[in-house]
Structure 1
């Protein structure tokens, strides 16, 4: 009988641990400072009954714990729980969350991230395994100061565009960054797309002080990106190099930018029918899109 109580305690502990299974994944290990970091949280319901997460007035059911390289917790990161989510018994859901909307680490170094899911009925929290990631940085390959035009937040201030080349473990990408020119504070950092350096990117500013970049995304496919003075990606379009007619970007005397050469290419469009010419392969789609 004296062994019964510990055994019952162990059984209860295992039962509580089995309510939810929580896992967390990141798309890669290395990120640039201030880059948006998307996380995918997977929750499997092991309660034996339908589980309800969130909903109006229920509060947050999902939170994240970020730690620095010493294990010190950083800012709390709760996710809005207004959306009602139902998980059938044994069912699984996935939530994609931009964790940097709550806190974006700026210091170069190693970080850890856990996801926590609340089980309201028991008051328990179920935590994923810790995922490690690195914040790093890169020197700009191109920089240009500009004044923020009227109609944009921060109008009249001086900022700076920077274009950066970032090589990860298995890929190379082109990034854009907006910096406050006076304080040198990094305001926005985001990925323009995968890049091949077989041809150097073309980079310029147009008459509206927009950043325009044309670069080789993969063999035969070029990407054209436009960034607004307030640091938002306005446009990303693609062109195919056809029979040596390589796309190129030009700036006229009035500050207007045009892309000439190549053929416009939509990677999200369905493949043409067999009778349509020219045809394209699924492999034409630039990786990472």
Structure 2
């Protein structure tokens, strides 16, 4: 009888109902050290009513447990506080969370992560756990690097690094910008898909901005300009003009342009394509 009463109490406990399901998936399989590591979390509301997930007291409605390749939990470097959300009945929401904000993931190695989501009636020792997601952090080997000063700031120095890296989806060309004086990474991100059989062209202008031109498809070249803060200040796409390839040209005043190319305009390209007749539109009796 006592066992039946205990089972009944457990069954009636609202925190034990399968109110939500949680799934996590890192955006990529592999990352470079200091690259933003995003995890996509999907939460499905199975409670039979609209459900609001929110922080209560000192308990966050969602938290992450990250482990290194030794199975040790990676401690938080800053407390996490995420805005709440409301999930309509029977629906699924998907949100992206940046793990680097709260966990030091710069060391190379294999990592795992899972999420724990809590409904308002659950405390910090309860919650619904997701599956485990896996990702790898790599240091990467620069194919090119250069140090420059910061205009207007005496003694400050930056190092630009280009790294060819496959993040598990496709080969990418990455940029890293480090504050040399304070040994601090300012930026690390992919500039785009890179066909590395043609070496990327790079040049530094009079403001010490880095200009990079690389082949992203057999027909398109990506032209990107990065400043000393690690920000992308320009990104344009160019097509080959004639039989020679685009290149970076430096003017006498120190400015840099892409030469021997046609600026790619996708809208204009689409309009040009409409001018050509499809094979199905060829009049009957005419053979090609």
Q: Structure 1 length as normaliser, TM-score?
A: 0.82
Contact 1:141–1:162 (CA under 8 A) maintained in structure 2 = yes
Find the aligned partners of 1:278 and 1:235 in 2 and give their Cα distance: 33
The two structures, once aligned, show a CA RMSD in angstroms of: 3.0
Instruction: Determine the structure 2 residue equivalent to 1:272.
Output: 270
Instruction: Determine the structure 1 residue equivalent to 2:46.
Output: 46
User: Is there any run of 5+ residues in structure 2 with no aligned partner, and where?
Assistant: 278-288
Instruction: Determine the structure 1 residue equivalent to 2:283.
Output: none
Q: Is 1:163 equivalent to 2:162 in the alignment?
A: yes
User: Is there any run of 5+ residues in structure 1 with no aligned partner, and where?
Assistant: 280-289
Number of matched pairs: 273
SS state of the match for residue 272, structure 1? helix
Q: Is 1:116 equivalent to 2:112 in the alignment?
A: no
Shift of 1:72: 2.0
SS state of the match for residue 218, structure 1? coil
Change (3 A) 1:249 1:184: same
Change (3 A) 1:278 1:228: farther
Instruction: Determine the structure 1 residue equivalent to 2:282.
Output: none
Find the aligned partners of 2:154 and 2:276 in 1 and give their Cα distance: 46
Instruction: Determine the structure 1 residue equivalent to 2:105.
Output: 105
Q: Map Cα deviations across residues 132-174 of structure 1 (whole Å, 9 max, x no partner).
A: 1111022111111111123xxx764112111111134452110
Task: Tell me which structure has the larger Cα radius of gyration.
Answer: 2
Find the aligned partners of 2:9 and 2:195 in 1 and give their Cα distance: 59
SS state of the match for residue 140, structure 1? coil
Contact 2:28–2:168 (CA under 8 A) maintained in structure 1 = no
Find the aligned partners of 2:92 and 2:61 in 1 and give their Cα distance: 15
Q: Structure 2 length as normaliser, TM-score?
A: 0.82
Contact 1:66–1:73 (CA under 8 A) maintained in structure 2 = yes
Q: Map Cα deviations across residues 13-33 of structure 1 (whole Å, 9 max, x no partner).
A: 897251110111112211000
